[in-house]
Amino acid sequence: MKHYHYIFTGSGLAALMTVYEMVLSGKFEDKTILLLDENPKKTNDRTWCFWEEKKTFDAIVSQKWNSAYFKNQNFERPLDLKPYQYKLIKGLDFYTLVFDVISKQNNIHFAHQKVVDFEELGNHCVVKTEIESYTCNQIFNSIFNPEIVKRQTKYPFLHQHFIGWFIQSKEPVFHPNCATFMDFSIEQKGNTRFMYVLPTSETEALLEYTLFSKDLLQKEAYETEIKNYIQKLGITDYKIVEKEQGNIPMTCYPFWKHNTKNILNIGSAGGWTKASTGYTFKNTIKKSKDLVRFLSKENDLRKFHKTTKFWFYDLLLLDILNEKNYLGSSIFSAMFQKGNSTVIFKFLDEETSFWEDLQVIWKCPKGLFIKALFGRIFHR
């Protein structure tokens, strides 16, 4: 059985970002690393958007926006994103960048294999794939198992689920400098539903029909709504260039409780997805840097996780949306209608001071959050 220092079970965003950071740090050249994935990561299976001030991955950013609209049926507000820019990275460009770096490292290997089991056995771990078994000192697991969240009821489990179409229209209807972050003007049908629009030119955009809710829809339901929205934009002639779909977990479930001395859950499987929004990319940049710093000093992976006040804020929002899913539009609208957009994005990045938190929270319907707070304290 081949032995490695570290094995990554699952080699998507979190694993590749962590390995990339390991290489950049120059501190892991003496460690043997194996990346395992059932998918060769050679297709553009997703697009990532995130806002940032820095230029972390600008070499592979394919589009940037300086402002973004927030809309509902009563108002629309262009949000000045300064000092941030909203950026888009194609999944394939990221995979190619990282695999290119990895291919130059003698100590890092990738195997296209499906993991069927892994466990910690005393001071080492065993990973079994469909065709081979390996041993290692430590495992970083990003294979998400929804069953562990479904098995409990203490923490709500919602999904950010969507289908997106990249379209090319005959009519010039889009504003290429301005993304539409959330458009709640569409029918809510008892849920939190919005359109997300990422224009890349006056005639091209990615349109995503998105829900934050418990239950997924039939494919036709998302696509009918995208068609309705296209019609509402005044587009009569268009071509679908590409499609994508996603189902991102939104939960405050304490994934870190499954971490052991030698197994760390990372990515969505480790709770790196922002529970209230589904955004993961930016958090993964930060967490992977933290993890690489942590590994150069510490060995016990149970010590990596730190719970913050933002986890609790997210929990209250999810409690509300879990019970009354139709309230999403009014909560996000209250926050974005008059709030300072820069502070809101900083808050969503979990970088605000308590005083700044209050500026954002104060705009939200207070009664709902106070009720959710009491619900958490006295009933759960």
- Binding region for ligand FAD (CB under 6 A): 10-15, 36-39, 46, 48-50, 114-115, 142-143, 244, 246, 248, 267-269, 279-281
In the complex, minimum distance from the CB of residue 212 to ligand FAD, in angstroms, rounded to a whole number: 13
* Smaller CB separation from ligand FAD, 274 or 363: 274
Residues in the chain: 380
Structure tokens belonging to residue 168: 């090319």
Closest CB to ligand FAD: residue number: 12
- The residue (of 162 and 313) whose beta carbon lies closer to ligand FAD is 162
Q: Residue 113 or 191: which CB sits closer to ligand FAD?
A: 113
* Cβ closest to ligand FAD, residue 208 vs residue 372: 208
Least distance from ligand FAD to the Cβ atom of residue 279, Å: 4
Give whichever of 271 and 368 is closer to ligand FAD, judged by the CB atom.
271
Q: How far is the CB of 170 from ligand FAD (least distance, A)?
A: 27
Please report how close the Cβ of residue 333 comes to ligand FAD at its closest, in angstroms: 21
And the tokens for 347?
Answer: 């808050």
- Nearest distance from C-beta of residue 201 to ligand FAD, angstroms: 19
Cβ at position 378, least distance to ligand FAD in Å: 34
Min dist CB 267 to ligand FAD, Å, is 2
Output the smallest distance, CB 32 to ligand FAD, in A.
Answer: 19
Residues 174/199, Cβ–Cβ less than 8 Å: yes
Q: If DSSP states are collapsed to H, E and C, what string results for the chain?
A: CEEEEEEEECCCHHHHHHHHHHHHHCCCCCCCEEEEECCCCCCCCCEEEEEECCCCCHHHEEEEECEEEEECCCCEEEEECCCCEEEEEEHHHHHHHHHHHHHCCCCEEEEECCEEEEEEECCEEEEEECCCEEEEEEEEECCCCCHHHHCCCCCCEEEEEEEEEEEEECCCCCCCCEEEEEECCCCCCCCEEEEEEEEEECCEEEEEEEEEECCCCCHHHHHHHHHHHHHHCCCCCEEEEEEEEEEEEEECCCHHHHCCCCEEECHHHHCCCCCCCCCCHHHHHHHHHHHHHHHCCCCCHHHCCCCCHHHHHHHHHHHHHHHCHHHHHHHHHHHHHHCCHHHHHHHHCCCCCHHHHHHHHCCCCHHHHHHHHHHHHHHC
Looking at the Cβ atoms of 38 and 356, the one nearer to ligand FAD is: 38
Judged by beta carbon, residue 157 or residue 363, the one nearer ligand FAD is 157
Which of 132, 187 has the CB closer to ligand FAD? 132
Q: How far is the CB of 291 from ligand FAD (least distance, A)?
A: 12
213 vs 372 by CB, closer to ligand FAD: 213
